Amino acid sequence: MFDLRSRFKTLTLVACLLVQPAMAQDGNALLLDIDRRLQPESYEMYRKLVNIEPDGNRKEFVLYTVKKGQENVVALFLDPPSEKGRSSLRQGENMWLYIPNVGKPIRITSLQSVVGGVFNNSDLLRLDYSTEYNAESLTEEEGLYVLELKARSGSVAYDSLKMWVDKKARVPLKIEAYAASGLLIKTLHYSKLKDFGNGIVRPAMLETDSPLYKGYKSVMLFDGIRERDLSDEVFTLNYMPRVGELRQ
């Protein structure tokens, strides 16, 4: 009897060890599919950001954004006039802000925010989820896929994510972002599914709130998402003052 129990426990453990990597592999495949449905690997797009304070005051920004590959993102401020001409650059884990009056790009961090509000610089210059996170589990809950994601390195803004995914559209509906301590940092809500053309059908709105910023909310609206080939020069410090030329 003892031998049978021992063998059963061993077989159960082996089965669990075999299932977990398979689930993680399926989760990473789903995550890569989600990235490509949200946007092409290299693209341009426009975004409006709205920061809403507890008293109802709002501050709005309009950005033109380009991304190439897995590490390079640039965002150019078009509005308000006080911010026009500023640009932010991300190269992997490194980020910079260019201010025309200053002339020289300055280093910024992922958890800072050049626009204030609940969105931080990592949110504004987001890389593909599959670039920064590894799927640890894939389950189903109330007709949705649920992904448990773990940061691939300690430099990522959030240590882990829990992502609820629409099964049919295969895009996120809700994401909870956590610190290494397990503290919930913010919750992201995707909505307003829209056909942007060229096979891109994805949410046009992203809202976020945070228990760390009670009463505050930030909204991101997406438009004009399309695939675009870009030169490596675009994603350099020297090109930051010239990002506007891409819109001509």
Percent of all residues in the chain with a pLDDT value above 90, rounded to a whole number: 85
**Rounded Cα–Cα distance for residues 87 and 74 (Å):** 7
Q: Does the residue 4 lie in any domain?
A: no
Q: Is residue 116 part of a domain?
A: yes
Q: Is residue 188 part of a domain?
A: yes
Please indicate, yes or no, if residue 50 is contained in any of the structural domains: yes
How far apart, in Å, do the first and last CA atoms of the chain sit? 78
Q: What is the pLDDT of residues 111-133, one digit of tens each?
A: 999 999 999 999 999 999 999 99
Per-residue pLDDT, averaged over 127-152, amounts to 95
Domain that holds residue 102: 35-247
**Whole-angstrom distance, CA of residue 199 vs CA of residue 173:** 19
- How far apart CA 229 and CA 237 sit, in angstroms, is 19
Both tokens assigned to 213: 């910023």
Does residue 155 lie in a domain region?
A: yes
At residue 23 the predicted structure's pLDDT band, cuts being 50, 70 and 90, is: low
Asked whether residue 212 carries a pLDDT value surpassing 60, the answer given is yes
When divided into structural domains, the chain yields a total of: 1
Residue 96 lies in a domain: yes
Domain for residue 233, yes or no? yes
Q: CATH no. for residue 169?
A: 2.50.20.10
Residue 133 in domain: yes
Ordered alpha helix ranges (H), 39-144: 121-124, 129-132
Which is it for the CA torsion 164, 166, 169, 174, positive or negative?
negative
Question: Is the omega angle on the peptide bond into residue 211 within 30 degrees of 0, that is, cis?
Answer: no
Q: Is the pTM of this model over 0.85?
A: yes
